[in-house]
Amino acid sequence: MLKPFVIHEPRTPQQASELLNEYGWDATVYAGGTELLVVMKEGLASYAHLINIKTISDIHTIHLTDNDAALRIGAAVTHRAIETSSMIAAHAPLLIEMERSLANVRVRTMGTLAGNLCFAEPHSDPAAVCMAWPGASFELTSTDGVRQVLPDEFFIDLFMTARQENEIMTAIHLPLLPPGMGSAYHKFVLLERPSVSVAAFVSVAGTTIKSAHIAVGSVGPVPYRATAAENMLLGQTPGDEPYRAAAEAAASAADPVGDLYGSVEYKRQLIRVLTRQALQQASERAMGVERL
Amino acid sequence: MLNQKYGVGEKAPRVDGPSKVTGEAKFTADIRLANMLEARVLRSPFPHARIRSIDTSQAEALDGVVAILTGTDLSDIDPYFGHAVRDRPIVAIDAARFAGDPVAVVAAESAHIAAEALELIQIDYEELPAVTTIEAALADGAVRVHDTDALRLGLFHGLGDFKPHDNICYEHHMTRGDVEAVFAEADAIVEGEFRFPAVYQYALETHAATAIWHGADQLEMWANCQHPYLVRAELADMFDLPKANVRLHVPFIGGGFGSKSYTRMEPIAAAMARKAGRPVRVVNSVTESMWTSRRHNMICRMRTAARADGTLLARTAEMWLDTGAYADNGPRVVATAADAAPGPYRWTAYQIDAYGVYTHRSPSGSYRAFGATHLEWIGESQVDQVARKLGMDPLEIRVKNLLKPGEAVRTPGKPMDADLIGDIRKVAEGLEWDKPRPPGVGRGMGIGLLAAGSRPVSTAFARLESEGTVTVMVSTSELGQGARTAMSQIVSQELSIPLSQIRVPDGDTMVTPYDRSTGASRSTTLAGGAVHLAALDLKDQLIAIAASKWQVAGSDIILRDGRAWVGDQSATLSELLFYHFGFSGGELFGRGIVRPEQGQGTYAAGPVFWEVCVGGVEVEVDEETGRIHLRKIVSVADVGTAVNPAMIKGQEMGGAAQGLGNAIFEEMVFSDGQLLNGTMADYRVPKMDDIADEFVSYIVQNEDGPGPYGLKGVGEGILAAMPAAIVNALADIGIHLNELPATPERVWRAIQQSKNV
C-alpha cells in the first residue's frame, strides 16, 4: 500500500539535483513510476519525497547529435515513444525490437528508458542491450556538472548504479551502427521479466568477423560482456560452428544462481541457445541478408 | 438488444454485461457503509509457532486505530470454523500453523493506518518444528499439525463419520474385485509415481467481506462468497445466533473458481466489527488470497493392468493430497479425487486409497474440477502407455473400454449418464486424428469424469409485478459464469417475455431463498431447475387467470410474444394482472423447489450427474528450450441441452486456459513453508499469447441431463482434460512427464533424459 509522499516538480536538472541534495535518502527520482511505485506499494522502499523529472523541459526528445553520428534519447522519453519513433526506426531499429517486447503496452506508455536503466533491475532488457551497444554512454547531471558514464561502469550491482545520490540521468547516447555492423536481441521470457537475454552486435567485412559485442542479461546482478566469446569470433568466417563455440564460451562465463527463473544448468542452456541465435541474426544483418 | 426474447438455446447477450463494462456493477469492496472501518490482518511469518504473548499497546496508541482483535478476544464465542472439520480459529489462538496464518486484526479509520499499526504489534513467537511437505507430514514421529482428538467435525462435511488422525485429515477408499489376482494375470502393466503442484485459483477479485452489527444479535454482511447459505450457517453457529439473524448479501463476484467456496474472511470481518462496535471492511491483497485458498498439491502412485487385446482390467492408486494447515474442503476434494481415479472405464478390479494430509502450509480447498484435474492426467497417461505397449491406437483403446450409458461407474452411485464414446470421437474429429502428424507435432486426448452437482437442493421464487416485470429470486452467486443470464433465459423461454423484463438481483439471504451452493457445475441444472419450476408455476397461474377472463379451458391458452392468447384474442401479462386484482396493483409469485426426490440422483447415491471431462490438444516443442507451443485445443462440452451456446463456449475457452495454466505454467513454490511466488510478477498464469493457435469447440446435446430441458452442468470438465491431453501429446513425441507443471525446464530435462537413454 502506498504511503503518502510529496511530489516536487523541478524545471531543470540542476533544480532536481538541488532537491536531491536537500532531501537525501528521503527522496528519489520519479519519471514513469512503473518500477518505483510497485516497490513502494509492496513496502520494499519508502520515500517521503518524489522528484518528478517529467517537468524538466529539455529531456523529452530524441535527436541526432555528434554530427549525426549518435542518438540522444532524453531521460523522460517513454518506451512507447521510442517504440513508435520514426527517428529510432531509421537509425536504431534494434531499440524498437527491444521495446516492442518490453513488459506490456501499459508499462511502456508510462515507463522511461532512463528510468529502467537507473532502476537496474537484474532482468532489465535495456541494460543488456546498452551493455553490448558499441560506444553507448549515459549522461548524468547534478549541481556539480555533467558527466558521461559507460554502461559497464554504470551497472554496479543489482539495483545499484554509479549514479550519485544527487545526480539524475539526463540522456542516453547511442552511436549509430557503422556500415557492416548488424545487431540482434534475443530473450527467453516465462515469468514477468526475461529469464535470460542476449544482445549481440557483429561487424563483418567480406567473409570475416571484424568485431563482436555480446552482452548477457538477467542471469547475474548486472549484465555481463561475454568477452572470451567476442574474442573467439574475431577473424572467423560467420557460420554455425563459430557461433556455437562462442555461445558455449558465453555460457561458461556465466555465474548464474538457481531461482524461480530456472536452475543453473537450464540458464546456461538458455544462454547457449540465445547467444547462438543472436549472433546468427546479427551477422546476417551485418551482411545485408537482413537489414537491421 | 435485450428487448428481445432469448429463450433456451439462444446466444443471448449477458444481462450483466453492460453494467460490468461500464464499471457500474458493484462488487463487495465497492460497498461503503457509514462509519466503516478498514481492517488489515497481521499474519504469522513462521510456518509453525506458539504465540507466547501479543503486545498491542503501541498499535492501539496510534491515532486512528479503533480496535485490535487477537485470539484472547474470542473467549465468548465459538471461534472455530470449517465446514468439514472445525479446525480453524478466526485468528490464531494457541499457535500459528502456516506462514500467512492470521494472528491479529487491526480496525482503523483508514487502510493506511491499519497497515501502519500492524507493524507496531509485538508478538513473542516460539518457533516450532514444522512439517511443510507431504513426505515430512507422513514421516514416523512427525510433528502433528493438530491435536486430532480435540477436533470436531463441521456442519457440512457430507462425508459420513470420519476421524482425523496423525496428520491424516481424511481418507477415502474404494475397492472392486481382487486386484492382485487380476494384476497377476494381466499381459501389460504400467506403473509410476506422479506429482501435481499447488496452484492458485487466481480470481481477479480477492477475498473481501464487510460486516455491521445491529445490536448484539443481528449481523449483516456483504461478502464475495459462492455459498452464502453455508457461510450464514457457520457464522450463526460461531456467534450463537439464529440463522435468520445473520443476513448475507452477495454482490457480483469477480471470479471464484472455488476460491470463494465456503467460509473465508467473513468471520474475521464479523468478529472485528463486533469488537470495534462499528462496521468493518476487510479486503485481501493477492498474496493474502493465495494464502487463503489454493489447490492441493498431490503425490500419486498408480498402476494399470490390461489384457493383450487392450481390455483394461485393473487399476490401483494411492494418493496423498496436501490440504495444508486446515481441512477446508480437503475431505471432499480427497473423496472426489478417489472417485476420479478409475477414470471412465469398465474395470474388473480396482483399489483406490486417497488421503488428505495436514501440513504447515497454507490451506487448500476447492478449485474448478478438483479431484478430476488431479487424477485425469495420471490415469489417461497410463491408458496411453498401455496402448503404446500393446501397439494400439489411443482412440481405439478408449472406445474399447469406455463406459456406455447405463453401466455402473462405481457402486453405489449413479450409472453412466453420458455418451462417452461419442464425446471422444468428437475430440478425434477435431484433432483430425486419422491424418498423419506433421513432424515434431504431438497429439493427445484425455477423458474423465467429475462427480458434479453437490447436494440437489435449490429453491427459487419468480415475482411477477403488475407491469409484467419478473424478478427472479435465486441465491446463485453471479461470479462471471453467466448465471443471471441463464436464469433469465429460462424465464424468458417459459413466460415468453424479453430479457429486458426480467431481473435477477444480488443474492441476499433475507430475501433470495435457499440454495446449497454455487459450485460443482450445479447452478443451471439445480438452481436453474428451481427457476424453471418457479416460471412454470407463474405460467400456470397466468393461464388460469386468462382462462377465467375469457371463459375458456386453460389448455386453449398459449403464451407468446409476452402475451396470453386464445385464438386471435390476446392480453399482456400486465392486463391479466389488472383483470385478476381489479386495479393496477398486485403481484403473482411462482415457486420452485428442487430436492433429491425430484433429481435423478441423490447425494448418497452418487452425483447429480457425471460431468464429462474431455478434450484434446496438438502441440509442438522447442527442443532447445523445452517451450511448448499449442497448435490446437479441442473441447467437447457434453451439456445435455445448451441454454446459451455462446456462454458455454466462453466457459470452455476459460476452462481450457485455466487447465493450460495448471498443466504447463502454474505452481505455488514453497520453501520451508514460505510461499516464494506470491505475486503476479512471479506466479505465471496463461496469457493471450499462450492460448492455442486454434480453438475448436463442440457442444454435444443429447438431452441426457437431470436439469430442465435435459440439461446438465458445464465449465469444469475441460480444465481437467487439458493436463491429460497435454501430457499425452508430449508423450506422443517422446517426452514423458510424471510431474506438473510441464515448465520449459522440466520439458527440456525430459528431452535430455530421453536422449541419454
Over 50: is that where the pLDDT of B603 sits? no
Q: Per-residue pLDDT averaged across B137-144, rounded?
A: 98
Given an 8 Å threshold on Cβ–Cβ distance, is A188 in contact with B111?
Answer: no
Pairing of strands B694-700, B628-638: parallel
- The reply to whether B31-130+205-254+259-292 and B373-449+605-756 are identical in fold is no
CA pair distance B60, B66, nearest whole angstrom: 7
Exposure on the CB side of residue A103, measured as CA atoms within 13 A: 22
Taking all residues of chain A, what is their mean pLDDT, rounded to a whole number? 96
3-state secondary structure B6-67: CCCCCCCCCCCHHHHHCCCCCEHHHCCCCCCEEEEEEECCCCCEEEEEEECHHHHHCCCEEE
pLDDT of amino acid B412? 78
Nine cell digits for residue B351? 483399489
Position A42 confidence tier, pLDDT thresholds 50, 70, 90:
confident
Kindly state whether B670 is in contact with chain A, defined as any CB-CB distance less than 8 angstroms: no
CB-based contacts of B284: which residues, under 8 Å, 6+ apart?
Answer: B206, B207, B208, B265, B292
pLDDT of amino acid B160? 78
Tens of pLDDT, residues A207-230: 999 999 999 999 999 999 999 999
pLDDT of amino acid B159? 81
Domain formed by B373-449+605-756, architecture: 2-Layer Sandwich (3.30)
Nine cell digits for residue B631? 497448435
A106 min Cα distance to partner chain B (Å) = 15
Tell me how many residue pairs between chain A and chain B have CB atoms under 8 A apart: 37
Q: Per-residue pLDDT averaged across B202-207, rounded?
A: 97
Over 50: is that where the pLDDT of B241 sits? yes
Q: Are A60 and A89 in contact (CB under 8 A)?
A: no
Taking all residues of chain B, what is their mean pLDDT, rounded to a whole number? 96
CA pair distance B43, B348, nearest whole angstrom: 50
pLDDT of amino acid A121? 96
Over 70: is that where the pLDDT of B600 sits? no
Kindly state whether A194 is in contact with chain B, defined as any CB-CB distance less than 8 angstroms: no
Kindly state whether B112 is in contact with chain A, defined as any CB-CB distance less than 8 angstroms: yes
B742 min Cα distance to partner chain A (Å) = 12
**Which chain B residues are within 8 Å of A276, Cβ to Cβ?**
none
Q: Per-residue pLDDT averaged across B161-171, rounded?
A: 95
- Nearest CB among A1, A188, A260 relative to B669 is that of A260
Residue type, A241: E
Tens of pLDDT, residues B682-729: 999 999 999 999 999 999 999 999 999 999 999 999 999 999 999 999
- Nearest CB among B112, B679, B743 relative to A1 is that of B112
CB-based contacts of B489: which residues, under 8 Å, 6+ apart?
Answer: B6, B7, B8, B10, B12, B499, B643, B644
pLDDT of amino acid B598? 47
* Residue boundaries of the structural domains of chain B: 17-26+457-594, 31-130+205-254+259-292, 373-449+605-756
CA dist list (Å): B686 to A106, B474, B655, B657, B690: 18, 33, 11, 7, 6
**Which chain B residues are within 8 Å of A269, Cβ to Cβ?**
624-625, 748
Given an 8 Å threshold on Cβ–Cβ distance, is B681 in contact with A190?
Answer: no
The residue of chain A with its CA nearest to that of B119 is: A43
B122 min Cα distance to partner chain A (Å) = 19
pLDDT of amino acid B110? 96
CB-based contacts of A8: which residues, under 8 Å, 6+ apart?
Answer: A19, A27, A49, A50, A51, A52
Q: DSSP state, B598? A: T
Tens of pLDDT, residues B106-126: 999 999 999 999 999 999 999
Helices in B560-622 by DSSP H: which ranges?
573-581
Helix (H, G, I), strand (E, B) or coil at A215: strand
A244 min Cα distance to partner chain B (Å) = 13
Given an 8 Å threshold on Cβ–Cβ distance, is B624 in contact with A192?
Answer: no
A173 min Cα distance to partner chain B (Å) = 31
3-state secondary structure A26-84: HEEEECCCCCHHHHHHCCCCCCCEEEEHHHCHHHCCEEEECCCCEEEEECCCEHHHHHC
Tens of pLDDT, residues B462-489: 999 999 999 999 999 999 999 999 999 9
Over 50: is that where the pLDDT of B599 sits? no
B744 min Cα distance to partner chain A (Å) = 8
Share of chain A above pLDDT 70, in %: 99
Which residue in this structure is represented by grid cell 506458539?
B50
Given an 8 Å threshold on Cβ–Cβ distance, is B744 in contact with A190?
Answer: yes
Over 60: is that where the pLDDT of B602 sits? no
CA pair distance A71, A176, nearest whole angstrom: 7
CB-based contacts of A130: which residues, under 8 Å, 6+ apart?
Answer: A117, A136, A138, A151, A172, A174
Over 70: is that where the pLDDT of B641 sits? yes
Position B191 confidence tier, pLDDT thresholds 50, 70, 90:
very high
Tens of pLDDT, residues B744-757: 999 999 999 988 87
Given an 8 Å threshold on Cβ–Cβ distance, is B624 in contact with A269?
Answer: yes
Among 3.40.50.10490, 3.90.1170.50, 3.20.20.210, 3.40.50.720, what is the CATH number of B31-130+205-254+259-292?
A: 3.90.1170.50
The residue of chain B with its CA nearest to that of A1 is: B112
Given an 8 Å threshold on Cβ–Cβ distance, is A190 in contact with B682?
Answer: no
Over 70: is that where the pLDDT of B605 sits? no
Over 80: is that where the pLDDT of A244 sits? yes
Which numeric CATH code is attached to B17-26+457-594?
3.30.365.10
A4 min Cα distance to partner chain B (Å) = 9
Tens of pLDDT, residues B257-289: 999 999 999 999 999 999 999 999 999 999 999
Q: Per-residue pLDDT averaged across A175-195, rounded?
A: 96
CB-based contacts of A171: which residues, under 8 Å, 6+ apart?
Answer: A59, A72, A73, A74, A75, A114, A138, A139
Given an 8 Å threshold on Cβ–Cβ distance, is A191 in contact with B682?
Answer: yes
Over 60: is that where the pLDDT of A291 sits? no
Kindly state whether A105 is in contact with chain B, defined as any CB-CB distance less than 8 angstroms: no
One-character DSSP codes across B72-93: GGGTTS--EE-SSEE-EESS-S
pLDDT of amino acid A65? 96
**Which chain A residues are within 8 Å of B745, Cβ to Cβ?**
262-263, 266
Tens of pLDDT, residues B536-593: 999 999 999 999 999 999 999 999 999 999 999 999 999 999 999 999 999 999 999 9
**Which chain A residues are within 8 Å of B116, Cβ to Cβ?**
3
One-character DSSP codes across B159-222: S-S---BTTEEEEEEEEES-HHHHHHT-SEEEEEEEEE--B----SSPPEEEEEESSSS-EEEE
Over 80: is that where the pLDDT of B32 sits? yes
Kindly state whether A122 is in contact with chain B, defined as any CB-CB distance less than 8 angstroms: no
Q: Per-residue pLDDT averaged across B202-210, rounded?
A: 97
Q: Per-residue pLDDT averaged across A272-282, rounded?
A: 98
Given an 8 Å threshold on Cβ–Cβ distance, is A191 in contact with B681?
Answer: yes
**Which chain B residues are within 8 Å of A263, Cβ to Cβ?**
745
**Which chain B residues are within 8 Å of A190, Cβ to Cβ?**
665, 684, 743-744
Nearest to B470 by CA among B499, B506, B443: B499
Given an 8 Å threshold on Cβ–Cβ distance, is B624 in contact with A273?
Answer: yes
Given an 8 Å threshold on Cβ–Cβ distance, is B112 in contact with A269?
Answer: no
Q: Are B611 and B715 in contact (CB under 8 A)?
A: no
**Which chain A residues are within 8 Å of B677, Cβ to Cβ?**
260
Tens of pLDDT, residues A1-20: 788 899 999 999 999 999 99
